Amino acid sequence: MIPPRSFSRREFLVSSAAALAAAPIARAAAAPVEPIIDIHQHTNYGGPRDPKQGWKQIGPARSDADMIAHQRAMGITTTILLPAGTPMVRPSTLNGQANGLDTTCFGNDSCLEIARAHPGEFLFAANEVPDADGAATIIEKYLKLGAVMIAEQKFGVQCDSSEMQRLFELAGAYRVPILMHWQAGSYNLGYDRFHRMLAKYPKTNFIGHAQTFWANIDKANVDNPKALYPKGKVSPGGLTDRYLADYPNFFGDLSAGSGENAFKRDPEQARAFLTRHQDKLLYGSDCNDRFGTPEVCSGIRQLAQIREWAPNKAAARKMLYENSKKLFRL
C-alpha cells in the first residue's frame, strides 16, 4: 500500500491560494442568467421588396438561424414570434404593401415551427388580416395550438371596426393579449377613439406598439401622420400616458425605433414615464439586424435605455421579465 503523500507548508499555502482565487470564477460561472422576455420578434424579417412587383420580396431577409443567434446575442431567454397574415391585395393591406407586416415577415406556420423546434426559448402568436374571410377562424386554429397572443395586428382598418371587435372578443375568450401597431394614416386608425374599446372589452388585454402609440406620450400629438418620430421635450399627459394610467387592460410594447425614440428624445421624461408605468410596460425588440450589437440593433439599445432610466433595478426587472411573465401566464 502506498502511503498518502504529505504536503509541505509552502505547497499547502499555494494550493489554498489557487483555490480561493478560482472561487469567484466558479461562482460567476454558476450564477443564474437574469431572464429576459422579448414579446416582439419576427421570422424572415427585413428583405427588400419591389412595389412595382406588388411588393414582392427581391432580396434575402434574415434567416431563422440568424434570428435565433441574434436573440441569444442580446441575452434573450424567451422570445415571442409574431407572424404576418395571409398575403392578399385589398385596402386593409394597403393593396399588398402590408403583406408581411409592411416588410417581409412570414406567417403563422413559420413561427409555430420555430417554437416547436425550440420549446421554452421561443413562443408564437397567431395572426390574420382582420377583414379577410374566416380571419377569426384561422387565428383560433393557432390559439388552440398554443399561441400566446394575437399579433401583430398591423392593417389599414378602423380600430373599432366590427372585424377588429371580433378579434377583441376572441382574445378575451382565450385569455391572450392582442398587440396593435398604431400608425396614423396607415394602420389601426382612430387612436383617439380607442378608449371606447378599452372600456367595452375590460376582460381583453391590449398591447400598444409603434409610432402613434409612442408619439402620444406627448399631449401635443394626436393621430398626426407627419409626427411619427417627434423630437424634443415631452409634455406629459398624452393619450398613451392617460390610457396606460386609466385602463388596467392596456399595456405598452417598448420595441422598435419608435420606442427607442420616445425615451432618448427626453431622458428626464423617460425616467418619469418608466416610473409611472413600470407595471404596464413590456420589453420587445422588433429589430431586423443579424448581429444584436448596439451599432445596428435598436433592441439592444432599448435594453440599455431601460436599465439606465428605470427608477431602480426592481422596476427594470418588471419591464424586462416580470410583467410579461404575468401577462402571458408563463
* CB distance 109 to 137 below 8 Å: no
Q: What is the mean pLDDT of residues 126-139?
A: 97
pLDDT of residue 9: 41
Report d(CA 320, CA 142) in Å as an integer. 26
* Greater pLDDT, 165 or 227: 165
Q: How confident is the model at residue 32 (pLDDT cuts 50, 70, 90)?
A: low
> In this model, does residue 17 exceed pLDDT 70?
no
Burial 178-200 (b: 16+ CB within 10 A, else e): bbbbbbbebbbbbbeebeebbee
Q: Report the alpha-carbon distance of residue 171 to residue 284 in Å, rounded.
A: 20
Domains for the chain: give ranges and CATH numbers.
Answer: 36-327 (3.20.20.140)
Q: What is the pLDDT of residues 48-95, one digit of tens each?
A: 777 787 777 777 899 999 999 999 999 999 999 999 999 999 999 999
pLDDT value at residue 226: 79
Q: pTM for the full model?
A: 0.88
Cβ–Cβ under 8 Å, residues 194 and 160: yes
**Whole-angstrom Cα distance, residue 22 to residue 156?**
59
Q: pLDDT by residue (tens digit) across 84-108? A: 999 999 999 999 999 999 999 999 9
d(CA 328, CA 79): 12
Which of 212-216, 229-233, 245-249 has the least mean pLDDT? 229-233
- Residue from 323, 320, 318, 310 nearest 270 by CA: 310
Work out the number of other CB atoms within 10 angstroms of the CB of residue 12.
11
Alpha helices in the chain (DSSP H): 9-30, 64-74, 108-117, 135-144, 162-174, 195-200, 211-215, 239-246, 256-264, 267-276, 298-309, 313-317, 323-327
* Residue 18: pLDDT over 50: no
Share of the chain above pLDDT 70, in %: 89
Would you state the cell numbers that stand for residue 32, as one nine-digit string? 443564474
Q: What is the CA radius of gyration of the chain?
A: 23
DSSP 187-229: BSB-GGGTHHHHHH-TTS-EEEESHHHHHTTSTT-SS-TT-SS
Question: 256-264 vs 267-276: helix axis angle to the nearest 10?
Answer: 110
Report the residue count for the chain. 330
> In terms of C-beta density within 10 A (0-12 exposed, 13-18 middle, 19 or more buried), how is residue 251 classed?
buried
pLDDT tens column, 193-212:
999 999 999 999 999 999 99
Q: How far apart are CA 87 and CA 163, in angstroms?
A: 18
